[in-house]
């Protein structure tokens, strides 16, 4: 079942002054870049290749490197060049010190430039949050006063005095937010100018790295062959079988069942990778959806251009119920969920204009498929993915 994006309001796109620049920076959907032949001298050979059905296009492979981190069950890209490539070409990973794009160094530089002059975007955001929090407190206090006045008036047999309840359109903060920065003391500026001494700031070191999930790392390794995973102990590149074994054993299991966990089709890595690969193969940009109580968010082009249109909940389905009874893993959503839970998740995503998708990943039965096939990625061909799209009925929005 392919996904067709519904008609969206104009607010779903992220417009701004840098829209044209973003189209240039994020022009490539994947780390691999397909280029024309190197020079005109290859015209004759290119024409000959075209006649026999072969493409003369060159493929530019960035050959990025990362290190597997067993503590966080993720891989770290510490090289700034590789981090930039993986983010700008497909929006893979996230900065460990940022909300999405690894921009910690840029934000620190902007904070230094803005010190004492103007507020940075982070400070403006915190100021707005503080004002919004204060507005809710003031409104709640006004409602409590109105209720107390109405109750007292009813007991005394008089008409209740009006109590002004603030609204979002008329309310204004009564105190200056703490995040506003005062100007630099003029005395210090005069002293520094008179003495002719300029204090040099220490250069900033970029301590942020790009963090990839196991699913993102394996997609880049296996499908695109543009990522090398280094062993955290030896710092040497791991082979493809070693990477596969490492990812299968990344999730914890009881010590008594740890050996058996490598021979299980319900391994959490396999179940979630089946869903991740399915949507990536359809051309969607897949990101984590923990903020909205789901497993994945689907972007049409990427978080720079549009907001996520779909929210995906991965639901494992055992082909053989006996496999679930003997499983060492406790997979989320494997048990029957309640309508309360489903309504809650659906409402959260409907309020942010996202369509909820229940993605059922069928786990093959061990009685039908030999566990020996788990020694290679060929086992992924035995998984199947089905989708159910849910939309919450909102009378105020759906009258037309």
The residues that are catalytic are 299, 307, 354
Sheet order of strands, 227-230 included:
94-95, 210-212, 74-77, 64-69, 227-230
Q: Which residue has the tokens 């296996």?
A: 222
User: Tokens standing for 286?
Assistant: 């897949």
Cβ atoms 175, 127 nearer than 8 A: no
Question: What interhelical angle do 121-156 and 104-114 show, nearest 10?
Answer: 80
What's the CA angle centered on 154, arms 151 and 155, to 5 degrees?
90
Cβ atoms 257, 94 nearer than 8 A: no
What is the distance in angstroms between the CA of the first residue and the CA of the last residue of the chain?
Answer: 27
Cβ atoms 385, 361 nearer than 8 A: yes
Cβ atoms 26, 302 nearer than 8 A: yes
User: In whole angstroms, what is the distance from residue 68 CA to residue 75 CA?
Assistant: 4
Sorted by sequence, the CB contacts under 8 Å of residue 62 that are 6+ apart come out as 31, 32, 82, 85, 89, 226
Q: Which residue has the tokens 């914890």?
A: 252
SS3 content of the chain, % helix, strand, coil (to 5): 40, 15, 45
3-state secondary structure of 215: helix
User: In whole angstroms, what is the distance from residue 210 CA to residue 227 CA?
Assistant: 13
């Amino acid at each position: 079942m392919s996904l067709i994006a519904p008609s969206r309001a104009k607010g779903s796109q992220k417009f701004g002054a840098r829209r044209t620049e973003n189209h240039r920076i994020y022009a490539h959907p994947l780390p691999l870049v397909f280029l024309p032949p190197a020079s005109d001298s290859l015209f004759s050979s290119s024409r000959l290749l075209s006649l026999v059905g072969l493409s003369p296009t060159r493929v530019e492979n960035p050959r990025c490197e990362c290190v597997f981190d067993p503590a966080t069950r993720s891989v770290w890209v510490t090289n700034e060049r590789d981090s930039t490539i993986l983010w700008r070409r497909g929006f893979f990973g996230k900065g460990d010190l940022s909300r999405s794009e690894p921009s910690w160094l840029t934000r620190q530089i902007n904070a230094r430039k803005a010190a004492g002059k103007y507020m940075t975007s982070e400070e403006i955001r915190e100021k707005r949050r503080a004002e919004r929090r204060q507005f809710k407190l003031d409104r709640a206090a006004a409602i409590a006063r109105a209720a107390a006045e109405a109750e007292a008036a009813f007991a005394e047999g008089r008409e209740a005095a009006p109590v002004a309840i603030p609204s979002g359109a008329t309310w204004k903060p009564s105190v200056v937010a703490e995040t506003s920065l005062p100007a630099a003391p003029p005395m210090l500026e005069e002293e520094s100018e008179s003495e002719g001494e300029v204090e040099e700031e220490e250069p900033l070191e970029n301590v942020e790295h790009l963090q990839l999930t196991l699913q993102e790392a394996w997609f880049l390794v296996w499908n695109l062959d543009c990522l090398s995973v280094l062993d955290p102990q030896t710092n040497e590149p791991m082979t493809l079988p070693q990477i596969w074994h490492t990812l299968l054993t990344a999730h914890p299991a009881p010590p008594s069942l740890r050996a058996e966990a490598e021979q299980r089709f319900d391994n959490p890595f396999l179940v979630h990778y089946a869903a991740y690969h399915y949507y990536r193969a359809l051309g969607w940009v897949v990101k984590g959806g923990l903020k909205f109580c789901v497993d994945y968010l689907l972007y049409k082009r990427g978080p720079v251009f549009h907001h996520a249109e779909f929210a995906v909940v991965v639901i494992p389905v055992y082909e053989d119920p006996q496999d679930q009874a003997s499983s060492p893993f406790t997979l989320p959503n494997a048990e029957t969920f309640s309508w309360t839970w489903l309504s809650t998740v659906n409402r959260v995503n409907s309020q942010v204009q996202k369509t909820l998708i229940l993605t059922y990943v069928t786990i093959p039965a061990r009685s039908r498929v030999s566990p020996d096939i788990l020694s290679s990625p060929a086992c992924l061909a035995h998984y199947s993915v089905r989708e159910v799209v849910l939309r919450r009925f909102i009378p105020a929005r759906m009258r037309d």
